[in-house]
A and B are shown apart, each in its own frame.
Chain A
C-alpha cells in the first residue's frame, strides 16, 4: 500500500496539516503536498478511468506529463474538469472527484468495455457502424459520444477573474532547474533584463531529488545562493508557478501564471497570461522519463521510476511497500536506492540490458538487492491494484521465468528532452542514437525577425542528463544567449556539479523484444487514450504509415497530455513495424501550449462590458434614462425607439413617425461619421473618392455623395459640405467613419502622396442633432441665434453661427422628407443643446425619435440605406443613382470597374418600389420574388428581392423597396414573393418614392 513515511519530505510542512475531500471522503495532507502526493499518502491509488476502455487508472507520474490521474476540481462556478492531481497543490477543503467513471471509480459500469477491447482495435469506428445509414446518427453516435469525453462540462459562468501581463525582456528563460538558474545567473550578471519562469512552486528541478552536488555541497545550497543573488538583481524577475506555454514568431512567448489555484480564497485574478517579447529565449525545460512497454503496464501501481522517487523524497510518500524496478538505464537505479533508504523493500531490479556494471547498479547490488540483467517484465499482474510481476528474458517471446509479488513497479525507459518550446516555432530535432532521444538541432533553430535563431535550449532539454553537464550547459548557453542579446558576458563561472557517472542506456521499445500479438494488445503506449502496441502495428499494416496517419488513426498522443509520455515509444514501434529508422519516421508537430491553459486566461479581462467597449454619443445617458430601446449599430448603441411605459415597441415607432411628420422629431445623429478633408488638392482628391463631381461644390453648400470601392460597388454615402475653398466636411454612415477615414488615408499615403491634402476624423468632436418636422423652424427661431429662414438657409445649404447661445453649424438636409435641420455643436455642448430643444420644443409637440422611425421615414421617401439596399454587390447604377455619378470626370474610384461586362448587363436587378396589392400585407424582410419558372437545376427562378420593407403609418399600407430584374422598365406590373410559411404576397412595382414625390415638404 502507499503511505506517508514517518519522516522526511523536502517540500511538505508537517506542522501544517490540511483536510481535503476526495470522492466525498475527508482526507488529510500537508501544506506543500500535491493532490497526487496527498492521495498516495492516503493509500488512494485508483484515481480514474481511461478514455476508451474505462480501465482503472492510477498515478503514473509526478508532473504535468501525467496522463491518468485527472480529476474534477471544485464545484459550481469554480468547477474545472481534467485537473492533474500531479500539478494541483493541496489546499484546505480542496474538493476533487474521479472522472469518467459511473457509478464510482471502483465499480464503473463502462468497465465492461475493456472486455470488448479485442473487438475495438484502432480505427474500428471507421470500419463499422455503416448500416443502416440512419443508425449512426440516432443510435451509434449518441452512445459513443456519451462514453467519450473525460471530465464533466462546467455548467455555470466562471466566478474567477483573469488578466494579461506584458513583458519585454532581453532574455526569457523557461525552467527553474539548475540549467535555467545557471543561464539566468550568467545573463543577470551581464546586466540583461531577464525573466525566469518556473512552472512549479519550487526552484531547482530534479537536481536536489537526484542527489547532485555542486561545488562539493548539496545542490540545494547552490540553488538557494543563486536564487538569493538573482532575487537581488533589479534586472532579473523570477516567477514560479508560471509555465512557459508557447513560443511564437519573432521572439514572442506566452507564460501561464497560476496565481490562486493553490489558494482559491486569495484575492485577485486566478490566472495571468504573460505576453512576452524577448530578444532570446532559453528553454531549460528538462526531460521527461519514458514508460516501458510491457503487458499490463497501465495497472495502478505501475509508475515512472522518477515519480516514485519524487514522492519518496519530496513528499515522504511511499508508493508501495514492495517495489520492483524495471529499467534499461542506470538512472532508474536511483529509485531503488531511494526506496531502500526509506526503509522499504526493493524486491528486484529488472534490467533489460545485458549487463549493468555502472556505479548505481553496483550500489544497489551492494545493498543485497537482486539485479536481473537481460530480463524483462513479462506481465504486470492485477486489476485495480498491482499484485505481482512476471519476469522473462528480454530477448525472447515472454516465457515466464519467475513471479515476483510487489505493489509498486517503477519503470524507466530512458529520458526524452522536453523540446516543445524549441519546436513550437519551427526548431528542428535530430536523433541521438546513443542516448536514444530526439534533441534540438542547434543548426536548425526557429528563426526570428532578423533571420537568426532566437531560441536556445539548455540542460536536460538539450540532451544533457547528468548534473555536471546540465550545469555547464546552463552556463554555456546562458553565455551564448547573453552575447546574442547584445551584452558582454563577463568572466566565466566556475561552479561545478558532480553526480554519479552512468553507463549508457540501451533502447528498449517493447518488453520482451519478441512479444506476441496477445501481449501487444495489453501493452499500452498512450494510457489516457488506450492506445496499445497492437494498435500502432495495425495502423502500419493497414498503410497508415506516416506518423501523422498513425497518430490520427490510433489517437496516439492526442489525449490531454498530448503524447508527452507516449509519442517516442509509439514512434519507435511504428518505425519497427515499417522496418525504418526512428528519425526517418519523424515526429508529429509540437503545437502550443506546452500544457493546457485555461480559456479564461486567454480571454483575460476582456469580458462582459469590456468584451467590446461601447462607443457612446454625447446624448447616450439621456437616451438610456428616457426609455431608449437600444440596438447595436457598429460599435455604438442607438435607440431603436423611445418606448413609453404604456406602449409596445411598434406602437412607439408609429407614434414617433406620425409626430415627426406632424410636429417635430428630435434625432441624435451624433454617430454619423464626420471627416474633414483639407488642402490645396482637396477638390481633386474628393473627385477621386466620390462618384460625384465634388470640386465644383460651392462654399456654403451641401451635396449628397456616393463612394465606391475600386471594384465598383457602393460602399458608403453621405452629405458633403464645402466649408471653404480648400476644406470639405464629409459625412459618412455611422458604421463607416473609421473605415472611410482609413480608406482616404490609404489613398493619400500610398497612391497620391504628392497631393497636398490632410484628413481628420472629427466624428466624436461634434454632437449632431436633427430637428425634423414641419415645426422645426419654429423651434430654432424660438431658441434664437442664426437666421434659419428658408431664404437665409435654403435646402442643401449650411450656416455657421450660434443657436440658443451655443456655437453651432446648421445643415439644411433631410433624410425624412420633412423640413429638417441637422445641428452640429461641440460634443461637450451636445447634451445642453439637446436639453434646450426638448424643453423649448414641448410647446410644438416635440418628441425624440429612434432609428426605426428614421428607417421608415427614409423608406417612405425612397432614400437608400447602406447595408439595406446595398450588400457589397450593388453598384450605384442598380439603385437609380446614376444622377450622382459624374459623366464629366476622367476617373474616380470604381469607375473602371463599373464598365466590366457584368456591371453593364441590362438584366441586373435594379431598385424599384413595391406596394403589396393587399393593403394589410407587408412583404417579409429578405423575401425573394419568383416568376413561377424552374431553373435547369431544379431551383425556383428568382427575379428580385426586397431590400427594405415596412408598414408605413403615414400612408396606412405596407411599403417596400427592392431590386428587381429590369425593374424600372416594369412599373405597374405585379410580382410574387413567397413567404417562409408557404404564403405568397403579391406586390405592384412602383416608384420607390412613396411620400411627397415632388420633394415640396423638405424644401420650404
Chain B
C-alpha cells in the first residue's frame, strides 16, 4: 500500500513536470523594413505589455538577434507558449550610401552597413534553431525577390513550418493577392502590424502553423 502511494506521488510529480509546455522558438524573418520588429512589438504589447525593439523608417534598424522569452498567447480556448526571435532583415546588397540618403552621417552609415551585414549572417545561422517561422513581407512590394524566394525555399527544404504575413495592408498599394499568387501553398494572412489590423486572425493562423 505504502509502495503504491509513493509510486502514485512519483508519477504525479514527474507527469506534471513533463506536462509543462515546451517553449517553441518562433522566428520572424524577412527582408529589411517589412515590419518584423513592428509585428514583434505588437505581439509583445498584446501578451506581455511591453515592446521588443526599436523601429525606424531607415532599413536595417534591427542588426542583432532579439529574443523575448515565454510569450503565452490564447485564442479560441487554446494556448500557445513560445520564445519570439526577431531577426535582422535579410538582404543581398547593403550599401551605406542608402543610409546617407536617409539622413545618416557617412560614418554612422558605414557602421550600420557593417553591422547589418553581420546581422544577415547571424539571422541565417539561427534558422536551424527555429521550430516555426513567420515570414514578414511588405505587401506593397513585388514578392518575387531573390531574398523572399531564398528564405521561403530554404525553410521548405528544412521542413520548418511557415506562416507568411503580408504586412502593411493599410497602405493603398498593398496587394495580398500578389503575395498569395507567389506562394500559393502557404498559410498567408494580411495584417497591418502598425495599425493592429487583422491581429486576431493572425493569432488564429499562428496556432495552425506552430502546433
Indicate whether A and B interact: no
Which B residues fall within an 8 A CB radius of A? none
Which A residues fall within an 8 A CB radius of B? none
